[in-house]
Each structure stands twice: as structure tokens, then as C-alpha cells.
Amino acid sequence: MTEPSAKPQWGRLDADLNRISRIEVAANYVSRPLVGPGIALAFIVVAALAAMVAFGHAPGGFVVVAAAAFGAYMAINIGANDVANNMGPAVGAGALKMGAAIAIAAVAETAGALLAGGDVVSTISKGIIDPHSVEDAQVFVWAMMAALISSALWVNLATWIGAPVSTTHSVVGGVMGAGVAAAGLSAVDWSTMGAIVASWIVSPVLGGGIAALFLALIKHRIQYQPDKIAAARKWVPILVAIMAGTFATYLAVKGIKKLVKIDLEMALLIGLGTAIVVWAVTVPLVKRKSAGMENRTRSVKALFGLPLVLSAALLSFAHGANDVANAVGPLAAIVHVTSAGSFAAKVAIPAWVMVIGAFGLSFGLFLFGPKLIRMVGSQITKLNPMRAYCVALSAAITVIVASWLGLPVSSTHIAVGGVFGVGFYREWHSEKRLRALRDRRPVESRLPQEERRRRKLVRRSHFMTIVAAWVITVPAAALMSAVIFLLLNQFV
């Protein structure tokens, strides 16, 4: 009699174990999205502990510890949002896998921040606020704290909605809002603010225009030639040399200012020499690689893969060297004021502060960067190695031109503007070829309405979201910063 009852018991046990295993799988699925925030929180805690060790026993140590935590939070958000501009085109074009892109960018960003990061940074971000208009040192500390918190919150929100925004403009807006709340409208240098507002237009238009021009050059000189391989052997070394010379100049001007001071004329000579050397080296390499290739566009695209990867790494290095100050500039100001009891227009960044910024960039990229990388690389318009090459090259050229003209441009606006420029050029070129086909063969060129809509090669929804985020970055960060400053000044 016991034999028949044993089977149902074992059956019930198997069913119970199956339910338990399903609960375990469900728990893992639910907890997976919390891994990134958990690691980020751990890094923020470590940054606060580092500040406690370096500064905790000094007067005002609690304020520095809190500022270090928010500085780490800001660095993570910059890594999540800003670095996508450098790696997005390479990933979208298929030249790099996501994992490789993140690894290369993390190493390059950290190296750029630690080796060539600016050792002196304006405490109030590009002279937006006169420090002496805020007479009380404690009020100045709360203003910098409010700027740090508000800019980090805004970049975090922009990343969450999938909009690549300028972290520099976020910091500028935060500093401006806190400065106005602390000392009134007269504390703001409105001529500098006017130049920054102008850069909202100049940066993407210039970046998009240069990217479109290089794409037109590639199409007409290589892609539409009868012998594409012969054309590529002539033009690819020239284009790679232009890229090498441009990046050499870019790094000389923007990336290694901490290591050695170089003026623009010397940087241009360095770029010219680099371009000549790279051209001489690239000619036989391209000839060897193109041997036996089929005479079609897909073959030509393969020749742009390695230059695109190198350009992404160099852009990340230069970004780490320059934009780490957005994360740790206000923190460095707070450290200086708290330790010295007075403020200055410029301060040196302590080594432990720079380490927080450098590693925060890498953590943010590693944990949260893929979302914006996909947005920039594939969701705005379709990229291939040639188009992505044009975006990367336009980013470097635009920064050099802007430095020469003295324009305060945004690297984010330039890179995303380059993606827009490539996409809109493709639309224009597609419509132009369609009109030419219609003139030659009117019946065959009649496309269905759905096909006409599909030829809109830039996603308008992403375009409008990103432009709207750009426009409201400074006002939104400024408003949040003013509110946070008033709360800190009132209750702390």
C-alpha cells in the first residue's frame, strides 16, 4: 500500500523544487538592473572614504567628504553620457564590438585624465561667475556644491531619457544658477554666457557640415568611381593622413597641455609632419590590404575600420584630459576654499581628486554607457565605417577650428552634430538621385508613400529629443542649482 503513495510524494517534491528554481531565476532577473547602480554606489562610498582619509580631520572635512561623493557621482554620469560620443560611431559602424569599445574607451579616458588632465581649472567654469562677487567663503562653498549636485542630476536625467547632452554646459548652468541665487544677476558674465549660447548653434552646425563634406568627398572620389579599388588606393592614404595630422594637432592643442605647453602654430606643424609620415606608411599598407578585393563599396569600407578604431581611442584620451575637470572642478574649488579659508580664480586639483574623476569616468562608461553608445551609433542614422570616419574626423577638425577662433564649443554637440550631418546628407543625396532617376525613367521612379517615408534617414523623434535637451540644458541645470543652493543655505 505504501508503494503507490511514494510516487505522488516525489512528484510533489519535484514540483516544489521547480517552483523554487523559477523563483530563483525571477529573483536574478529582477536584481540584474540593480547591479550597475550598486557598483556605482560602492564607488561613490569609496570616493567619500578617500576624502575622509585625505581631509576628514581638517575643519570642514564633512563638507569635503560630501563634495567628493557628489564629484564621483558627477564623474559616473559624465562617463555614461559623454563618452558615447567618441565610441558610438565606431560601434554603430561595426568596427568595434560593444565590449571592446568600452574597454578601449575606459583605458583611454583614464589615461587622458591622469596623464594629461588639466592641473589647473577655473573654479567657476570658464569665468561664468566672478568669485569675488560672493564675499562669504561658506556661501561660495554651498554655491559650488549646488552646481555639482544640479549638473550631476541633469546629466543623469538626460542619460535616462537617452539624450547625449553637453556636460560642460551642465556645469556652466549649475554654476550660473548658484551664482545668481548667491549674489544676483550682476555676478554673471553675460558676454561669456552669450558666447556659450552661440556655441549651441555653432558646434553642431560646424561638426555636421564638415562631416557631410568629407562624406561627399568619399562618395564622389571613391564610391562612385568605375574602379573603386584603384580610387581607394589613392584616396584612403590621403584621408588617413588627414585624420592622423588632425588628431596630432588636436592632442597637441587640447590633450597634452599639462605635459607641455604648445601654441597653435607649433601644433599645426606637428600635425603636418605626422600627416606626411602616416601617408608614406599607409600607401603600401592599403595597397597590400586591397590586393584581391572585389570592386564594390563593401570592400572599400573595410579599409576604414582600423583608422576609425584609432580615432575613437584618441578622442577618448582627449576627452578624459579635458572633461575630467567638469566632474572635479567644483570639488577642487570646495577643497581649496575649505582648506585655505579663501577662494581664488584658479586652483590646483589634488591628486586624489583627479583619481576620483578619472576612475568615475570609466565606471560610468562601463556600467551605463551602452545605452547612449547605441543611441549615437545606430539609432539616429545608420552608420558604416566611411560615415563614422567622417564623424570622428569632423569632431577633431571642429575643435581645432573652434580653438583657433576662440569659440567655446561642446564636444558632445560636435560629435552628435556630425552624426546628424552625415544622416541629413544621405537624405539629400538620396532625394537628388531619385529626382535624377525620375527625369530619366518617370514610371520606374514612382515609389510608394511608405518607401518615401522610409527614405527619411534621420529619425526625427531622436533629433527633436536631443535638440530639446541641448536647448534646455543650461536653464534646467541653472534652475535646479538655484533651488539646491537656497535649500543648502537655509537648512545646513
Query: Rounded to whole angstroms, how far apart are CA atoms 393 and 245?
Result: 10
User: pTM for this structure?
Assistant: 0.81
Pick the more confident residue, 264 or 487. Answer: 487
Query: Rounded to whole angstroms, how far apart are CA atoms 148 and 326?
Result: 9
Mean pLDDT calculated for residue range 133-162: 86
pLDDT (tens digit, 9 = 90+) per residue, 5-45?
545 555 565 565 565 555 555 545 444 566 778 888 999 99
Percentage of residues in the chain having pLDDT higher than 70: 80
pLDDT (tens digit, 9 = 90+) per residue, 192-242?
788 777 777 888 888 899 999 999 999 999 988 899 999 999 999 999 999
Residue 1: pLDDT band (50, 70, 90) is: very low
pLDDT (tens digit, 9 = 90+) per residue, 409-418?
777 888 888 8
What per-residue confidence (pLDDT) applies to 284?
A: 93
Q: Which residues of 181-213 are buried (b: 16+ CB within 10 A; e: fewer)?
A: bbbeeebbbeebbebbeebbebbbbbbbebbbe
Query: Rounded to whole angstroms, how far apart are CA atoms 156 and 367?
Result: 13
- Helices and strands, number each (H, E), in the chain: 17, 2
Query: Rounded to whole angstroms, how far apart are CA atoms 82 and 473?
Result: 14
Angle between helices 98-116 and 305-340 (to 10 degrees): 40
What per-residue confidence (pLDDT) applies to 273?
A: 94
122 DSSP 8-state letter: E
272 burial level (CB within 10 Å; 0-12, 13-18, 19+): middle
What per-residue confidence (pLDDT) applies to 478?
A: 92
294 DSSP 8-state letter: -
Lowest mean pLDDT among 65-74, 90-99, 130-139: 130-139
pLDDT (tens digit, 9 = 90+) per residue, 203-217?
888 889 999 999 999
Instruction: Tally the C-alpha atoms within 13 A of residue 79's C-alpha that lie toward its C-beta.
Output: 29
Which helix (DSSP H) or strand (DSSP E) does residue 27 occupy? helix 2-31
Mean pLDDT calculated for residue range 451-470: 72
What per-residue confidence (pLDDT) applies to 120?
A: 44
* Mean pLDDT, all residues of the chain: 80
Q: Phi and psi for 245 in degrees, rounded to 5?
A: -65, -40
DSSP codes, 312-361? HHHHHHHHHHHHHHHHHHHHHHHHHHHHHSS--SEEEPPHHHHHHHHHHH
pLDDT (tens digit, 9 = 90+) per residue, 365-408?
888 888 888 888 878 888 888 888 899 888 888 877 776 766 66
What per-residue confidence (pLDDT) applies to 127?
A: 63
